[in-house]
Amino acid sequence: MRSDEARPADQTIGARSASAETGIESHLHESRIFEARKDFGASVGGAYVRNLKEYRARFKRSIEDPEGFWGEIARQFDWFQPWTKVLQWDLPDAQWFVGGKTNICHNCIDRQVLQGHGNEVAIVWEGEPELTRDAASAPRFEVRHLTYSDLLAEVSAFANVLKSLGVRKGDVVTLYMGMVPELAIAMLACARIGAAHSVIFGGFAAAAIVDRVQDAGSKIIVTCDGAWRRGSIVPLKANVDAACEQLPDVRHVITLRRTKNDVTWFAERDHWWHDLTRAASRDCPCEWCDSEDLLYLLYTSGSTGKPKGIRHTTGGYMVYTATTAKEVFNLVPGHGQLYWATADIGWVTGHSYVVYGMLPNRVPSLMYEGAPNAPAEDRFWDIIERHRVTHFYTAPTAIRAFMKWGNEHPLKHNLTSLKVLGSVGEPINPEAWMWYYQTIGGGRCPIVDTWWQTETGGHMITPLPAATPLVPGSCTLPFFGVDAAIVNEKGEEQPPNTGGLLVIRKPWPSMLRGIHGDRERYIDTYWSRVPGMYLAGDGARRDERGYFWIMGRIDDVINVSGHRLGTMEVESALVAHDAVVEAAVVGVPHEIKGTGVAAFVTLGPGFTPSEALRKDLIEHVGKEIGAIAKPDMLRFTQTLPKTRSGKIMRRLLRDIAAGRDTRQDTTTLEDFTVLAKLRESDE
Ligand code: PRX
Q: In what helix (H) or strand (E) does residue 213 lie, and over which residues does it extend?
A: helix 206-216
The predicted model scores a pTM of 0.92
For residue 434, pLDDT beyond 80? yes
- Quick one: average pLDDT of 73-85? 98
Specify the pLDDT at position 532.
95
- Quick one: average pLDDT of 101-121? 98
- Looking at the CA of residue 536, tell me the nearest atom of ligand 1: 16
Which of 508, 443, 498, 502 lies closest to 475 in space, CA to CA?
A: 502
- Quick one: average pLDDT of 445-468? 98
- Looking at the CA of residue 449, tell me the nearest atom of ligand 1: 26
Q: State how far the Cα of 391 lies from the Cα of 329, in Å rounded to an integer.
A: 7
According to DSSP, the residues that pair with 548 across neighbouring strands are 476, 542
Say if ligand 1 is within 6 A of residue 453 CB: yes
- Quick one: average pLDDT of 545-559? 93
Confidence bin at 30 (pLDDT 50/70/90): confident
Nearest residue by C-alpha to atom 26 in ligand 1: 451
Mean pLDDT, all residues of the chain: 92
Specify the pLDDT at position 16.
41
**SS3 of the chain: helix, strand, coil, percent, to 5:** 30, 25, 45
Q: How much of the chain, in percent, has pLDDT values that exceed 70?
A: 91
Specify the pLDDT at position 550.
96
For residue 180, pLDDT beyond 60? yes
Calculate how far, in angstroms, residue 586's C-alpha sits from the geometric centre of ligand 1. Answer: 18
Where would I find the beta strands (DSSP E) of 16-163? 16-18, 25-27, 32-34, 85-90, 93-98, 101-102, 121-126, 143-147
Calculate how far, in angstroms, residue 484's C-alpha sits from the geometric centre of ligand 1. Answer: 15
Say if ligand 1 is within 6 A of residue 450 CB: yes
Nearest residue by C-alpha to atom 18 in ligand 1: 425
For residue 2, pLDDT beyond 80? no
Determine the Cα angle at 119 with ends 115 and 120, to 5°. 85
Specify the pLDDT at position 152.
98
- Quick one: average pLDDT of 314-334? 98
Calculate how far, in angstroms, residue 451's C-alpha sits from the geometric centre of ligand 1. Answer: 6
Specify the pLDDT at position 644.
75
Q: State how far the Cα of 375 lies from the Cα of 415, in Å rounded to an integer.
A: 19
Calculate how far, in angstroms, residue 434's C-alpha sits from the geometric centre of ligand 1. Answer: 20
pLDDT in tens, 31-66: 799 999 999 999 999 999 999 999 999 999 999 999
Confidence bin at 304 (pLDDT 50/70/90): confident
- For residues 309 and 298, the answer to whether their CB atoms sit within 8 Å is yes
Specify the pLDDT at position 24.
60
| Buried residues in 66-80 as b, exposed as e (16+ CB within 10 A) | beebbbebbeebebe
Determine the Cα angle at 35 with ends 31 and 37, to 5°. 155
Q: State how far the Cα of 62 lies from the Cα of 531, in Å rounded to an integer.
A: 23
Pocket test for ligand 1, best of 300, 452, 475 (most atoms within 8 A of CB): 452
AA identity, residue 154: E
Q: Which of 59-68, 285-294, 558-567 has the lowest mean pLDDT?
A: 558-567
Confidence bin at 130 (pLDDT 50/70/90): confident
Specify the pLDDT at position 17.
44
For residue 663, pLDDT beyond 80? no
Phi-psi region at 45: left, alpha or beta (left = phi > 0; alpha = psi -120 to 50): left
For residue 7, pLDDT beyond 50? no
For residue 21, pLDDT beyond 70? no
Say if ligand 1 is within 6 A of residue 553 CB: yes
Specify the pLDDT at position 3.
35
659 against 49, higher pLDDT = 49
pLDDT in tens, 212-263: 999 999 999 999 999 999 999 999 999 999 999 999 999 999 999 999 999 9
Calculate how far, in angstroms, residue 673's C-alpha sits from the geometric centre of ligand 1. Answer: 38
Specify the pLDDT at position 683.
42
Pocket test for ligand 1, best of 453, 462, 512, 535 (most atoms within 8 A of CB): 453
For residue 15, pLDDT beyond 50? no
Calculate how far, in angstroms, residue 426's C-alpha sits from the geometric centre of ligand 1. Answer: 5
Sheet containing 534-542: which strands, arranged edge to edge? 484-487, 500-504, 534-542, 548-553
Say if ligand 1 is within 6 A of residue 429 CB: no
For residue 270, pLDDT beyond 90? yes
Specify the pLDDT at position 306.
86
SS3 assignment for 125-187: EECCCHHHHCCCCCCCCCEEEEEHHHHHHHHHHHHHHHHHCCCCCCCEEEEECCCCHHHHHHH
Say if ligand 1 is within 6 A of residue 526 CB: no
Nearest residue by C-alpha to atom 4 in ligand 1: 425
Confidence bin at 642 (pLDDT 50/70/90): confident
Collapse the DSSP code of 65 into the 3-class scheme (helix H, G, I; strand E, B; otherwise coil) and give the result: coil
Residues 6+ apart with CB under 8 A from 501: 22, 24, 486, 487, 488, 489, 529, 530, 535, 536, 538, 539, 540, 554
Specify the pLDDT at position 668.
46
Q: State how far the Cα of 227 lies from the Cα of 214, in Å rounded to an integer.
A: 24
Calculate how far, in angstroms, residue 515's C-alpha sits from the geometric centre of ligand 1. Answer: 18
For residue 5, pLDDT beyond 50? no
Q: How much of the chain, in percent, has pLDDT values that exceed 90?
A: 85
Specify the pLDDT at position 368.
98
Determine the Cα angle at 124 with ends 426 and 115, to 5°. 110
Nearest residue by C-alpha to atom 13 in ligand 1: 425
CA atoms within 13 A on the CB side of 2: 8
C-beta atoms surrounding 495 within 10 Å? 13
Pocket test for ligand 1, best of 426, 461, 462 (most atoms within 8 A of CB): 426
- Quick one: average pLDDT of 505-532? 97
Nearest residue by C-alpha to atom 2 in ligand 1: 426
Say if ligand 1 is within 6 A of residue 427 CB: yes
For residue 136, pLDDT beyond 90? no
- Quick one: average pLDDT of 106-132? 94
For residue 28, pLDDT beyond 90? no
Calculate how far, in angstroms, residue 417's C-alpha sits from the geometric centre of ligand 1. Answer: 28
Calculate how far, in angstroms, residue 499's C-alpha sits from the geometric centre of ligand 1. Answer: 17
Specify the pLDDT at position 303.
79
Nearest residue by C-alpha to atom 15 in ligand 1: 453
Say if ligand 1 is within 6 A of residue 564 CB: yes
Confidence bin at 22 (pLDDT 50/70/90): low
Collapse the DSSP code of 573 into the 3-class scheme (helix H, G, I; strand E, B; otherwise coil) and give the result: helix
pLDDT in tens, 482-498: 999 999 999 999 999 99
Q: Give the distance, in angstroms, between the CA of residue 250 and the centroid of all CA atoms in the same chain.
A: 27
- Quick one: average pLDDT of 440-464? 98
Calculate how far, in angstroms, residue 539's C-alpha sits from the geometric centre of ligand 1. Answer: 12
For residue 632, pLDDT beyond 90? yes
- Quick one: average pLDDT of 197-218? 97
pLDDT in tens, 360-370: 999 999 999 99
Nearest residue by C-alpha to atom 3 in ligand 1: 426
524 against 639, higher pLDDT = 524
Say if ligand 1 is within 6 A of residue 236 CB: no
CA–CA distances in Å: residue 603 to residues 585, 608, 657, 675: 15, 7, 19, 17
